[in-house]
Amino acid sequence: MAIVRPFKAIRPDKKYADKVISLPYDVMNREEAAYMADGNPYSFLHICRAEIDMPEQKNPYEKSVHERAKQNIIQNIEDGVFVVEEKPVMYLYKQVMNGRTQVGIVGCVSVDDYQNNVIKKHEFTRVEKEIDRINHFDICDANTEPVFLTYRDNKKIRSIVEGWISSHEILFDITTEDGIQHTLWTVDDDSVIKNLSELFGEIPALYIADGHHRSASACKVGLKRREENPNYTGEEEFNFFMAVIFPDNDLRIFDYNRVVKDLYGNTAEEFLKKVETAGFEINEKGSDVFAPTGKHIFGMFLNDKWYELQAKPEIIPDHVIDSLDVSILQNNVLKPILGIEDPRTDKRIDFVGGIRGLKELERRVKTDMQVAFAVYPVEIADLLAVSDNDMVMPPKSTWFEPKLGSGLFIHKL
């Protein structure tokens, strides 16, 4: 059963919170981070992307970058930009995007739960990205950004959350430049914290929605600290890492679309014929953007035209992974017809998050690509089913919005 506990957070002082909050470290490059933080010395990008405070040639994976991040945390505490909670607390974190609301509980989860698969995964991680976050967390002596977890909705937990929100003062209420509203409440009542922890203790599993590298890295830092402290009791903070935990019913997964550089030697006519032969019914839609209307329906943009591709029943397997639309597209079009053997490494394919809209697919095809595929979004139920079966999603299957704000809380190890 899941362990969720309070922690003595480092967080922004109220008067600085709207200046500190930033996007997560992994949704931008160095140049974008520098632009976003320009003129704002309080931006959390000076911590999660500390290379922006160093010479331009600085490798963001170098340990000196993380040393700079550590110094920036210390300086912010000394300057009063950050404060340290007097006691372990939880938080409630509400995000509103385009009228849709999701409310999560901020607390710490267990390294052992990650190890024992109580915290379930659905993605592979890359070693170099893990090492980077291991160094960052270890040198900073803190989880600087939370992991995004979900769980199957629980009426008792939801009742406590809604009750607290309706009767307690807001800590932060920030609307960022992208239009996302971030609202935070401090849960400092020991009896309520105990009740929430006990209710999570009855939940069989938590699921990583976003943040597989942060989770894996936080776990490995915890294990490293255990080796360095052989008399550890299990209660030390390094045995836990920070997460925001949302009920599954609150969440929405956006589409994650594909663009390919060429037709692998085929003419457009040959390619369309091969797609049809591969098991798709093709309907030409013309110049108007076509968005998939349901599972196993794809949009395709080719030669300034949109097409609807409907997968026929015979190519839809009864398998939790292979029946996903991203798998159907990979196994029947991208690999056999376009020669994309491994989408993780092939330079001829790129991925476009659905938040950018389908017009972005048109733009890419008109600039540096030749064909685009719009994919119906994976559903939360699919993600949970894959995780429950200890399987791994195909690469670039899920895109969650809104992203968690970084800088609202830090967990010191």
Where do the domains of the chain lie? 4-17+84-252+401-412, 256-376
- Going from the C-alpha of 351 to that of each of 178, 272, 299, 323, the distances in angstroms are 21, 21, 15, 20
- Residues 234-276: tens digit of each pLDDT: 999 999 999 999 999 999 999 999 999 999 999 999 999 999 9
By CB atoms closer than 10 A (0-12, 13-18, 19+), residue 310 is: middle
280-308 per-residue burial string, b: 16 or more CB within 10 A, e: under 16: beeeeeeeeebebeebbbbbbbbeeebbb
Of the candidates 58, 229, 212, 27, the one whose C-alpha atom is nearest the C-alpha of residue 123 is 212
Q: 58 pLDDT exceeds 70?
A: no
Q: How far is CA 95 from CA 43, 100, 101, 246, 395, in A?
A: 19, 8, 6, 11, 26
Task: Look over the chain and give the mean of its residue pLDDT values, rounded to a whole number.
Answer: 96
Q: What is the pLDDT of residues 132-177, one digit of tens each?
A: 999 999 999 999 999 999 999 999 999 999 999 999 999 999 999 9
Whether this prediction's pTM lies above 0.75 is answered by yes
Q: Supply the pLDDT for residue 131.
A: 92
Residue found under tokens 């160093």:
54
pLDDT at 225: 98
pLDDT tens figures, 172-185: 999 999 999 999 99
Please say if the pLDDT value at position 352 is more than 90: yes
User: What pLDDT shows up at residue 355?
Assistant: 87
Contact, 287 vs 306, CB < 8 A? yes
Residues forming a β-bridge with 257: 352
Q: How far apart are CA 372 and CA 351, in angstroms?
A: 10
**Looking at residues 47-62, what average pLDDT do you find?**
85
Mean pLDDT on 191-215:
97
Question: Residue 175 and residue 220: Cα distance in Å, rounded?
Answer: 34
Instruction: Render pLDDT for 102-136 as a digit per residue (tens, 0 to 9).
Output: 999 999 999 999 999 999 999 888 888 899 999 99
Split at pLDDT 50, 70, 90, the class of 388 is very high
